[in-house]
Amino acid sequence: MNQSLTHLPEEASESPCAKVVLIGVSTGGLKALCAILPALPADFPWPVLIVQHQHPDADDYLAQLLNEQCQIKIKQSDEKERIRPGTGYLAPANYHLLLEEDLTLSLSLDPPVNFSRPAVDVLFESAVDAMGQNCIGIILTGANKDGAKGLAEINHAGGTTVVQNPAQAVATAMPLAAMALITPDHILNLQEIGSWLVEHAKTHKEEI
Amino acid sequence: MDREATTIEIDLLLEAIFRKYGYDFRDYARASLKRRLRHRMSQEKIQSYSEMQHNLLYNTAFFDRLLESLSVSVTEMFRDPNVYRILRESVIPILNKRPLLKVWHAGCCTGEEVYSMAILLHEADLLNRTQIYATDFNQKSLNSAKKSCFHKSKIRNFSENYQHSGGTNSLLDYVTMQGDYAYIADSLKTQILFTDHNLATDWAFGEMDLIFCRNVLIYFNKTLQSRVVKLFQESLAPAGFICLGHKETLEFLDSEDKFKEIESNSRIYKVKQYQVNQ
């Protein structure tokens, strides 16, 4: 059944991450993240990895701000850090964020993808390699096409895909680009995404 | 997709590169390495890692192109200007007390940061008693570094970085314009030796007062990171300094207790001294 768990190293099995939540967002991101992340309880069972497009010189202000508003811990990603449940990891400005197969984070300064660094596609594609069908990909408001390809890969790997309802997005390009490639499992309004995640986690727990 | 099979294919591909060409990517962080392999695959219109392995074993020109894809070449002059400001204010005054200096830029790429350091040393009147070693495993990057020129479109960004690093002259004082390119002044180049060195396979490198290795370790896994930090320890003079990239730290490595970060988040570390009379 859950194939990825068989590959986890022992150290991780103490706090297994059965699934990982991946969020890609650009223009209008702060408001969108503030609508979703505070809805997650401190014991939310999965890590949340977030790529928010930012100015290359941005510091960790966004992480601090979100951390103050959330029950889960929100931090800027550190290199080689092991992801843990109930924690949100933001890509640092000007670095790509990737998930390794041993469920540690890595960073890279490879050239921008979709004119973006960090790029949503880079995170999502690496997460598919690491977690396969256990990825939950969420594309929110944004004014470019970043994330569409990555979300499609999550879809092809059997993972779960969510796109913000474009009719309500500050910038529609990112949700629409994703919907042009695949039919997402869920199209939700911002206010619904947090509670959907909480419900989804509960259902998953009952299934085990 | 069978992820286990893919992992085996990539392991074998990296083994093939190592055994045939001596470049060791086996302990590189896998996620970004995979992206680069895939990029090359799509450029070459190749369907699988196994096909790629066959091609690289029998076609040297193919391997050269792959090697380019696997080498990082993103750098700029005075990148992260704040680091250079701290070097000016806190490190150079200490180095200034030493009679002769050795500086090593490990993974120097196309040399922009090497020349930035040369400018810093020049402005502190230290350059003429410093030997700078600049190394990379990528011969193409080294050749480009030796040419010491950059496109004029980069001047603005580099100049701003220079000013933010605390530079009081103009960056243009250190270059000569020829057509679309800015060439670094010859006087800055006399103390620099560019040479081939691979952090994954080669060994220590003299008694260095300062080692620069910025945004290289992020591409390695923990095993290789530990190897490289050990190599740096063996290459450092007493009370030497290591300067890492903005998101790199010695925190997760065994060596943490041997180094002290000179300023929080500066990523400049000094070897801790235990001897009483130093």
Distances (CA, A) of A135 to A23, A43, A99, A153, B44: 11, 19, 11, 10, 29
Q: What is the pLDDT confidence band of residue B75, given thresholds at 50, 70 and 90?
A: confident
pLDDT beyond 70 at A5: no
pLDDT at A4: 45
Active site residue A59: no
pLDDT at B256: 62
pLDDT beyond 50 at B85: yes
Distances (CA, A) of B201 to A38, A93, B72, B198, B228: 47, 32, 17, 6, 10
**Domain range for residue B59?**
3-70
Tell me, yes or no, if B74 comes closer than 8 A to chain A by beta carbon.
yes
On whether residue B244 sits in a domain, the answer given is yes
On whether residue B186 sits in a domain, the answer given is yes
Q: Which one of B30, B32, B222 has the shortest CB-CB distance to A101?
A: B30
Q: Are residues B106 and B203 in the same domain?
A: yes
Q: What average pLDDT is seen over chain B?
A: 92
How high is the ipTM of this complex? 0.90
* pLDDT digit string, tens, across residues B30-61: 999 999 999 999 999 999 999 999 999 999 99
Query: Does a cis peptide bond (omega within 30 degrees of 0) precede residue A118?
Result: yes
pLDDT at B276: 46
Please tell me the pTM assigned to this model.
0.91
pLDDT at B274: 60
Active site residue A96: no
Kindly identify which residue of chain B lies nearest to residue A96, measuring between CA atoms. B32
pLDDT at B79: 92
pLDDT beyond 70 at A18: yes
pLDDT beyond 50 at B278: no
CB contact under 8 A, A78 and B247: yes
Q: How many CB pairs under 8 A join A and B?
A: 67
pLDDT at A103: 96
**Which of A84, A108, A87 minimizes the C-alpha distance to A97?**
A108
pLDDT at B254: 65
What architecture is domain A18-207? 3-Layer(aba) Sandwich (3.40)
Chain A residues within 8 Å of chain B (Cβ atoms): 3, 7, 78-81, 92, 95-96, 98-101, 106-111, 122, 125-126, 129-130, 132, 157
Tell me, yes or no, if B2 comes closer than 8 A to chain A by beta carbon.
no
Q: What average pLDDT is seen over chain A?
A: 92
* pLDDT digit string, tens, across residues B247-262: 998 876 666 678 899 9
**Mind telling me how many Å the CA of A15 is from chain B's nearest CA?**
20
Q: Are residues B137 and B195 in the same domain?
A: yes
Total number of domains constituting chain B: 2
Q: Are residues B110 and B62 in the same domain?
A: no
